[in-house]
């Protein structure tokens, strides 16, 4: 009785039958490609010092054989871990309840995948978190670079990261801008445009719900509001300004404080706070935008799905995360000096809550008009 021999797995290099493709070494790929081991190493590590034809030949063989370079060996050779950290000064619950941060993280993760990087997320919500996480962040050889969300003026973790030798990019304008690398949106111009929009629509008692006062985004968005009011010859009524903390509940509480002073329009410094404030207005038996109009900030996905769609400032949150990774990699490759600053544009998205469809004509240049607000202009 004859038996058929078991099918054999063949390698394209001189190796034993049934040798696993994962056993392939740089020398095997070099032999197939007819190049030196060092040339293959340069291709694997994306070195620019390889001519195009050779690179293409080596990459084709790597793809055909399914060769996977040893990550530890690559890190040792390049003196890189191919890992970056993302530090968010928020508790776990705050991170997941504010849609901004998951959307930002999505952009960072997308860019990391494109660059074959590993992303480590660090949530720092209290002193205990900081004490536990800081040594890991600063450990030599742990991370190639760090992205950190701009914190508060008294943020000790932020100061320690700034003083370290690890390439660091701040997400949002830091309090101390000197020699600090950061990426941000133009919060002042964005808030100025949002406020001008309400002024031009004819509202007389325009109020504002701010974020926490020790945040640079709060400071810059407040500055834009103040500039617009001043340029329009409007006095700011302090009773029409209330502080929140970027959460929905804080927007609700702030609006409850403002209602007795009868604002007819509110600029909320985040969409999440605007949603809370709108709930307070509706609970008071008032109509949006007939009695109180709203403009938010962020243009989160929920803004366009609300029963009364939210007029808001669009900032490119996912794109922000992608550009942050690109900028950090440039710093890792070329050094952190001179300090890099990247400011991304925003756009006012006109929907229903501002009252543009109540026979009012918005005149802010560069605004995008959606939904029923568009019908009022046709």
Are residues 160 and 138 in contact, defined by beta-carbon separation less than 8 angstroms? yes
Say if 16 falls within a structural domain. Answer: no
CA 165 to chain centre: 23
Among 39, 57, 78, the domain-final residue is 78
C-alpha separations of 244 from 214, 215, 268, 273, 276 in Å:
11, 11, 9, 7, 10
Say if 202 falls within a structural domain. Answer: yes
Beta bridge partners of 147: 86, 169
| CA-CA-CA-CA torsion sign (223, 99, 154, 84) | negative
In the predicted model, what is the mean pLDDT of the chain?
Answer: 85
**296-306 pLDDT tens trace:** 999 999 999 99
Q: Taking residues 215-239, what's their average pLDDT?
A: 97
What pLDDT is stored for residue 373 in this prediction? 47
Whether residue 209 sits in one domain with residue 111: no
Say if 3 falls within a structural domain. Answer: no
Say if 92 falls within a structural domain. Answer: yes
How far is the C-alpha of 355 from the C-alpha of 352, rounded, in Å?
A: 6
Whether residue 236 sits in one domain with residue 364: yes
In the predicted model, is pLDDT for residue 111 greater than 70?
yes
What pLDDT is stored for residue 136 in this prediction? 84
What pLDDT is stored for residue 22 in this prediction? 52
In the predicted model, is pLDDT for residue 237 greater than 90?
yes
Whether residue 250 sits in one domain with residue 207: yes
Q: In the chain, how many domains are there?
A: 3
CATH at 365 = 3.40.50.2300
Beta bridge partners of 312: 296, 349
Looking at per-residue confidence, does 78 or 333 come out higher?
Answer: 333
Q: In what order do the strands lie in the sheet with 368-369?
A: 241-243, 206-210, 265-268, 293-298, 312-314, 347-350, 368-369
Whether residue 246 sits in one domain with residue 371: yes
Whether residue 251 sits in one domain with residue 353: yes
Whether residue 359 sits in one domain with residue 232: yes
What pLDDT is stored for residue 366 in this prediction? 57
What pLDDT is stored for residue 9 in this prediction? 35
**120-138 pLDDT tens trace:** 999 998 888 888 888 888 8
Among 78, 110, 145, the domain-final residue is 78
**82-96 pLDDT tens trace:** 899 999 988 898 899
| CA-CA-CA-CA torsion sign (88, 94, 98, 102) | positive
Percent of the chain with pLDDT over 90: 54
Whether residue 64 sits in one domain with residue 92: no
What pLDDT is stored for residue 267 in this prediction? 98
Whether residue 91 sits in one domain with residue 68: no
Whether residue 231 sits in one domain with residue 367: yes
**18-42 pLDDT tens trace:** 445 456 777 888 888 888 877 887 7
Q: How many Cα atoms within 13 Å fall on the side-chain side of residue 6?
A: 5
- Report the range out of 175-184, 311-320, 325-334 with the highest average pLDDT: 311-320
What pLDDT is stored for residue 322 in this prediction? 96
- Decide: residue 287, CB within 10 A, 0-12 exposed, 13-18 middle, 19+ buried: exposed
Whether residue 261 sits in one domain with residue 222: yes
Whether residue 350 sits in one domain with residue 275: yes
Q: Taking residues 283-303, what's their average pLDDT?
A: 97
pTM, rounded to two decimals:
0.76
Say if 7 falls within a structural domain. Answer: no
Of 162-166, 264-268, 324-328, minimum mean pLDDT range: 162-166
Looking at per-residue confidence, does 329 or 165 come out higher?
Answer: 329
What pLDDT is stored for residue 85 in this prediction? 94
Q: Place 335 in a pLDDT band, splitting at 50, 70 and 90.
A: confident
The pair of three-digit structure tokens given for residue 355, joined into one six-digit string: 């009252």
Whether residue 210 sits in one domain with residue 106: no
In the predicted model, is pLDDT for residue 215 greater than 60?
yes
Among 50, 78, 106, the domain-final residue is 78
- Could you list the residue range(s) of the whole structural domain that residue 146 is in? 83-185+318-344
In the predicted model, is pLDDT for residue 256 greater than 90?
yes
Q: Dihedral through CA 138, CA 143, CA 147, CA 151, nearest 10?
A: -20
Q: Taking residues 35-57, what's their average pLDDT?
A: 80
Q: Taking residues 142-161, what's their average pLDDT?
A: 80
Say if 9 falls within a structural domain. Answer: no
Please name the residues in contact with 122: beta carbons below 8 A apart, sequence gap of 6 or more: 85, 86, 87, 88, 133, 136, 137
C-alpha separations of 48 from 44, 45, 195, 336 in Å:
11, 9, 49, 21
Q: Taking residues 307-331, what's their average pLDDT?
A: 96
Are residues 215 and 221 in contact, defined by beta-carbon separation less than 8 angstroms? no
Percent of the chain with pLDDT over 70: 82
């Amino acid at each position: 009785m004859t038996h058929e021999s078991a099918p054999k797995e063949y390698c394209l290099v001189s190796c034993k039958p049934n040798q696993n493709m994962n056993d392939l070494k740089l020398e095997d790929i070099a032999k197939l490609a007819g190049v030196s081991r060092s040339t293959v190493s340069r291709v694997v590590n994306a070195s620019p010092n390889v001519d195009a034809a050779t690179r293409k030949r080596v990459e084709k063989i790597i793809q055909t054989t399914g060769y996977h370079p040893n990550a530890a060996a690559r890190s040792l050779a390049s003196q890189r871990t191919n890992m970056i950290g993302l530090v968010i000064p928020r508790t776990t619950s705050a991170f997941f309840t504010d849609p901004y941060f998951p959307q930002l993280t999505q952009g960072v993760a997308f860019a990391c995948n494109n660059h074959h990087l590993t992303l480590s997320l660090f949530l720092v919500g209290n002193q205990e978190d900081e004490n536990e996480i800081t040594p890991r962040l600063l450990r030599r050889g742990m991370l190639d670079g760090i992205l950190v969300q701009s914190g508060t003026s008294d943020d000790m973790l932020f100061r320690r990261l700034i003083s370290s030798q690890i390439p660091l990019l701040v997400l949002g304008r830091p309090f101390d801008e000197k020699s600090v690398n950061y990426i941000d949106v133009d919060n002042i111009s964005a808030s100025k445009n949002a406020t001008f929009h309400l002024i031009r629509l004819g509202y007389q008692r325009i109020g504002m719900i701010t974020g926490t006062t020790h945040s640079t985004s709060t400071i810059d968005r407040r500055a834009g509001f103040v500039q617009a009011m001043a340029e329009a010859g409007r006095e700011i009524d302090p009773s029409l300004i209330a502080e929140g903390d970027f959460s929905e509940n804080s927007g609700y509480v702030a609006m409850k404080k403002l209602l007795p002073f009868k604002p007819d329009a509110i600029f909320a410094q985040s969409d999440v706070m605007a949603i809370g404030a709108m709930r307070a207005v509706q609970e008071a038996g008032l109509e949006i935008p007939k009695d109180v109009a709203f403009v938010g900030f962020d243009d989160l996905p929920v803004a366009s799905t609300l029963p009364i769609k939210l007029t808001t400032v669009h900032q490119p949150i996912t794109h922000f995360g992608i550009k942050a990774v690109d900028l950090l990699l440039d710093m890792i490759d070329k050094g952190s000096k001179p300090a890099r600053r990247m400011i991304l544009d925003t756009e006012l998205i006109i929907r229903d809550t501002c009252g543009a469809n109540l026979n009012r004509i918005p005149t802010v240049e560069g605004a995008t008009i959606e939904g029923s607000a568009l019908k009022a202009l046709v």
